[in-house]
Each structure stands twice: as C-alpha cells, then as structure tokens.
Amino acid sequence: MNLSFFTLGERLRNKIFFGVALVALVPFIISGVFAVYLVNRSHSDDVVKVQTNLLNGKAIEVKKYVSESIDQLNLSIAMDNTNQSIVRYLQPFEDFVDQSRVLMLRNGKRIVFGILRSQLKDLLQNALAANKAFDELYFIDAQTGLEIAYEANYPTHYEEEGLFHDFSELPQFLAAKSGEGYHIGEVNQTLSGPVVEVAAPVKNEEGSVVGVLAGQLNLSGLRGSFEGTTLGKAGYLYLVGANGDLLFHSDPKKASPEANLGSAPLVSGFLANGGMIVGSNQGTYTSFWGEEVVAMATPLKVRPNDPWLLVVEWPTADANQAVGILRNQFLLFFVAVLALTVILSVFLANRIAKPISVLQIGAERIATGIFDNPVEIHTKDELEDLGMAFNKMMAGLKQLQQLKDEFVFIAAHELRTPVAAIKGYLSMIMDGEVGKIDETAKEFIQKVVNANQRLIQLVNDLLQVARSEAGRLTIQVAAIDIVEPIKSVLDELKPLADEKAIKVVYEPTTIPKALADAVRLKEVVVNLVGNAIKYMGTQDVKGGAKPSGSGGSVTLSHEVKDNTIITHIKDTGIGMPPEAQKKLFEKFYRVQSDKTREITGTGLGLFIVKQIVEKMDGKIWVESEEGKGSTFSFSLPMASNIPSQSAQASSTPVMSS
C-alpha cells in the first residue's frame, strides 16, 4: 500500500477534517436555535391568548354593567297636551284653573306642570328601585332646563325648595336633550366608590324630547367582578379612567382610589394619543408597582370621547416559570457547544486564512513593483512550502525587473547618439548642404525625418521612465510663478496649434506662487497641451488662411483650493470612455479607437507626467466624455499667499489660433 499520499497530505488533511467537523455542527446549531425559537414563540403565543381571553371577557362584563344600568333611564311619558315641555312659566296676569299643578318659586315666579308631580316622583322612585347602581336621579325639563324632581337611594335633606336649579348649561343635559342618545360624564372618586354622571332623554308619546333623566351611577358594583380575578399565580387586572385614575384592581392590596397610572407605559401611550392605542397593545416593562411584567391592554368605548382602559399585567417570573427550567437547561448545553464551535472556528480560520492573507499582501506588493519584502509563513505545512516558493518567484521577478530596467536604460542610452546623428545628417541634407535635392527626394527624406523624430521621442521617454523607476528622476522644487513657464510652453506649441486651426486660450489670474520644478512643469504642460492638440483631430488645409478656431479649442485656467493651485486643461476633442480613463496613466497604455488609430504615440507620456506631478507632491486626474472633450487637471502645493507678480503684471490674455 502506498503511504506517500497520507504522509504528504497529513497536515492539510487534518485541517480539512476539522473543517468538515465544523460543518457537521452547523445543523445542530441551527436546530438548537430553531428549537429555542419555537419554545419561546409557543410560550409567547400562549401568554397572548390567555391575556386576550381575560381582557375580552372582562370588557364584556364592564360594558354590560354600564349599558344595562343606563337602559333603565330610557323612559317615555304620556302628557295631556302636545307641548314639548313639562313645565312653563305663568305670566303675572295669567290665571290657571288647576292650582294643583301650579307652584310658586322663591323668586316670585309661578310655574305650571304639564303632568302631576306625583307622577314624576313615582317615575324616579321606580327607576331607582329597578337599578340599585344609581345613588340618585333627577328630572330636568327639556325647554326650561329646570330640575323639577329629585330622588335618592340614601337618606337626604334635599328640601322641596332646593329644587328648580337651572341645569340648562350642563353638558350632560345638552347632550341628552339633543335626543341622539345618553351621555356619560367623567369618573369621580367618592367615599362609596367611583361614580359617573349619566343622562338620557325622556320622550313623550310622539317621540319628542320633553325632559332629561340624569343621575349618579355608582360603579362599585364592578368591584366584585374584578376582585378575585387572577392570571397564573401573580397576574392581575385593572381598569383606569380617561385621566389615568385607577378605578378597580383585581388585587385588593394594589387597589388604591388615589393611585394615578398615567405614567405606566401602556396607559401613558393611551392617554397621549387621545384615548387610542397606537401600535402594539402589548409590551414588557416595569409596572407601576415595580414588577417586571408582560402586559396587554384594550380600550373600552364606554364614553364616546373618553374611553377607559382595561389592562392585564403578568409578572414575567410567573409567566415564564412553566418553560424556564427546560429552556435554561437547553440554552446551557447550547451555549457550551456554541463556545466550543467558536473556539475551533477562530483557531481554524487563523490557521488557514492568515498565511493566505500574507501571500495576498505579497502579491499586491509585487503588482506595484516592490520585490524586496519576502513573505514569512511558519505553519509547518504545505502553506509554508507555498510561501517559500512564492519568495523564490519574487526573487526571480526582481532579477528580471532589474535586467529589464538595465536593458531599457542601456538600449535607450545607446540609441540616443545614433538617432541624434541621423537627425543632424538629415537636417543637413534637407538644408541642401550636400547638394540640391528634388521635391520627390525631399518628400521621402521628410518621412524619414518624421520617423526619426518619433524614435527620438521614444528613446527620451524610455530614458525618463528608467530614471523614474530607478529613483534617479531629479526634481528641484522651489517657490515659482507657474504662469511664465506655461506661457513659454504655449508659445512653443503655437505653430502646432495653428497648423490644425486650434485656438489655445490662456487667461492667467492672480494666483500665489507654487512649489514646483519649473523645468519639469514645462514637461507636464507640453505633454498635456500637446496631447490635447494632437487628439483634437486633423483638418485638410489647401492653402489660404483657416478660420480662427475652426479646429476646436484648448483652454487653460487656474483654481486655488485647499492650499493648492489646480491647473485645468480643457479641450473640445474626441474625449474617451470611462474604462479608458481608469488606465490612462499606466505605462504603455493608449486609447484604442477608430479615431486614434492613425495618431502615433508611445503610451509613456501620461505615465511620466503622473510621476513628475506626484514627485512635486501634487495629484493629476481627468474628466472626459466621448464626443465632448476632456479636462486634465493637476494640483501643486501653494508656496505662499503672496500673489504672483507676473500674473499681476500680465493683464492681456494669451491666445493663439
């Protein structure tokens, strides 16, 4: 049996084994979390159902008590006339035959009853006898608003002369007089318990409102319904009024007529929203009595505008006791397994991911041309072997890079002399120093001159790149006025712009001096403006003057921002797509399209420009859109806040066309 496989891959196989073991634990973790969720969800649903049933049942009892009591006030009176009033005032000159229906008031006025007063007293006494919940009842005439009859369920010293109060402005009288239904007032606490003022319309046989039957309804009859109501071992139920006062509580120890529960979470939200529960009617919080409870509430529309609130609160310790032991045991086991799983996961992740991360960082360094920092991986397994191979590869790449740089530098340096000599000899031939040449020969020689010029540019660019990458690119930064170097460059490029009928616009503004190398700055501007002119497109010129600016325009401007001087070079050329802009400053990259195919270049100019600008502590970027032109911008550090003298002296814009 060949054991080489097991020996060679034993350490990596062990890691895979632990990974598989970890994957095997995932179903257990998921099932455990799901089981805990189901236990809690099922228990929560059960608590909600119990509380809902208790609230609904108690709400029915309260509404039934109030509605049955008020129904006793729905009366009808038979009268001997069609007037809508039981009483009326007699005029001083008026006599009335039936003096039994006439009564002299203390203010000297006389009133006449439409029915016998004994009938009214019998009516009130029968209503009190039918429902002991009323402490007192009084009858109010609909037209005059006078209280004309009064009866109580307890001894009273309410004298005959105390009657005939004017209740015409009372809210309960006005509401009941409208005939739309009964009126219930606010709850008031008395020695006998909470009471409410109620009023209902009294109609004659024709259905017209002739009076209002009002009284004081004692709610103490509900106390027995609340007391003794329990939920589990410690749950309780209570009712609060529209102002937050505690009306009834199922636990006599917590029942206090002076208690106001307006600060309790569900009650405070109910009061703040005008007697409505906005959002959930459930919650877990610390109760008015300092217990952590799970609660539920429901409003009672006993009063149309000011409902009461019925609340059930169940201490969480009591509510969760049924499932607490089982859930705690399961959670303890689950936490132990989870902790072990986390420890193994962290160990395994660090064991495998850290060496890979080290390799990734090393690869990123190589991508940027850094070959001097070998990776260090000490895992004593295949990953360490991979790190050693990676370092060997890095060393090889470094040697290749050095050989390439040396070759490029030597080749460019050696080519510089012969191409310069070729340029000189061609210039002598073109100048006729070796004899007169015909036009055909001159045309051929001019093509050789152009090709040699491109070769010279390539050699110079290669030397520039080689110096930059070898760290031999010299930059001498000083506080300079950048206007003059730019104007000098534009003067040099004017013939090239005129040849293509391109207008170059430069209107220097008053700007501070910048920290830059004047010579290198010229290289940057020559490259950027030269590219703008070169990629503007060509036009056929067959003698004669061209219209000014017919070939497009290149505009230079400055901007002072955040202690830097930004120079913008905007052209109206062919522009470029977004994907090309991302690679524009890379070595040997050129935008490839039908419009640029005939334009020559090395793809090194913008790379060199970027190197120069960054070595002067600046930045360079481009904004472009196909068919609408490009704007190249580069920033330089500001030397001081002293304005440029040459910019102040030069008030004439530099324009060429």
* Together in a domain, 293 and 179: yes
Cβ pair 312, 235 in contact under 8 A: yes
Q: Say yes or no: 411 and 324 in one domain.
A: no
CA distances from residue 441 to 382, 425, 430 in whole angstroms, order as listed: 69, 15, 9
Q: How far from 411 is each of 329, 403, 407, 449, 575, CA to CA, in Å?
A: 80, 12, 6, 21, 35
3-state secondary structure 21-74: HHHHHHHHHHHHHHHHHHHHHHHHHHHHHHHHHHHHHHHHHHHHHHHHHHHCCC
In a domain, 484, yes or no: yes
* 8-17, 168-177, 361-370, range with the lowest pLDDT: 8-17
Contacts of 291 (CB under 8 A, 6+ apart): 313, 315
Domain boundary among 466, 486, 506: 466
Are 276 and 134 found together in one domain?
yes
**Do 155 and 300 reside in the same domain of the chain?**
yes
The confidence band for 654, taking pLDDT boundaries of 50, 70 and 90, is: very low
Question: What pLDDT shows up at residue 207?
Answer: 76
User: Is 323 in the same domain as 440?
Assistant: no
Query: Do 279 and 413 belong to one domain?
Result: no
* H runs (alpha helix) in 72-215: 117-130, 171-177
**In this structure, is residue 327 part of a structural domain?**
yes
Look up the domain containing 441 and give its range. Answer: 397-466
- How many Cβ atoms are within 10 Å of 633's Cβ, its own excluded? 17
Is the alpha carbon torsion for 390, 396, 402, 408 positive or negative?
negative
Q: pLDDT-based confidence at 635, cuts 50/70/90?
A: very high
Residue 637, pLDDT above cutoff 80:
yes
* 241-287 residue pLDDT tens: 888 888 888 888 888 877 888 888 888 888 777 667 766 778 888 88
Q: How confident is the model at residue 410 (pLDDT cuts 50, 70, 90)?
A: low
- Residue 419 and residue 436 in one domain: yes
Closest to 124 measured CA to CA, from 146, 153, 104: 153
Same domain, 12 and 123: yes
The number of domains in the chain is 3
* 437 and 499 inside one domain: no
Residues 483 and 415 in one domain: no
User: What b/e string do you get for 214-233 counting C-beta neighbours within 10 Å, with b at 16 or more?
Assistant: bbbbbbeebbebbeebebee
Half-sphere exposure of 231 (CA within 13 A, CB side): 32
Question: Which CATH number characterizes residue 564's domain?
Answer: 3.30.565.10
Higher-confidence residue of 439 and 539: namely: 439
- Higher pLDDT: 93 or 478? It is 478
Report yes or no on 626 lying in a domain.
yes
491 and 435 together in one domain: no
Q: Looking at 315, 341, 361, which one is the last position of a domain?
A: 361
pLDDT, residue 120, reads 75
In this predicted structure, the answer to whether residue 401 has a pLDDT above a threshold of 80 is no
| Mean pLDDT score of the chain | 77
Is the residue at 385 inside a domain?
no
Is residue 57 domain-shared with residue 198, that is, in the same domain? yes
- Model confidence pLDDT, tens digit, residues 104-155: 565 556 666 666 667 777 878 888 887 788 888 888 888 778 887 788 877 6
pLDDT of residue 480: 92
Q: Give 494 or 228, the one with higher predicted confidence.
A: 494
Distance CA 180, CA 199 (A): 12
**Do the domain assignments include residue 544?**
no
Instruction: Give the bridge partners for 621, in sequence order.
Output: 633
Q: Which two tokens stand for residue 590?
A: 């050129």
Considering the domain boundaries, does residue 444 fall inside one?
yes
- The CATH code of the domain that includes 124 is 3.30.450.20
**In the block, which residue shows the tokens 């911008």?**
633
| Contact (CB, 8 A) for 445 and 607 | no
Most trustworthy range by pLDDT among 67-76, 196-205, 363-372, 490-499: 490-499
